[in-house]
Amino acid sequence: MVKISDLRMREVVNIADGRRLGPIKDIDIDLEQGRISAIILPGAGKFLSLFGREEEIVVPWEKIKKIGVDVILIDLRDVTEINR
């Protein structure tokens, strides 16, 4: 079993293009089912983080392909999935 605190320390990599998306920022939990429904990653940073709201990348649990010791592999093939 993996602790949520351990998940947040792992780098997330998109296997579709090899891009490193950074560590997990937050986790969306379905309280009724008692399961993680998505992981939330920080999006591209804004200029000095002063202008506008920071975009987030929401990755549904089904898109997670492998959770390794130091990396989480996801499969986001569509660019619009990344730019949500």
Structural domains of the chain, with CATH: 4-82 (2.30.30.240)
Confidence grade of residue 2 (pLDDT, cut at 50, 70, 90): confident
Flag whether the pTM goes above 0.85.
no
CA-based end-to-end distance of the chain: 30
Confidence grade of residue 84 (pLDDT, cut at 50, 70, 90): very low
Q: What is the DSSP letter of 70?
A: S
Q: How many CB atoms lie within 10 A of CB 13?
A: 19
DSSP 8-61: TTSEEEETTT--EEEE--EEEEETTTTEEEEEEEE-SPPGGGTSSPPPEEEEEG
15-67 tens-digit pLDDT: 999 999 989 999 999 999 989 999 999 876 554 555 555 678 899 999 999 99
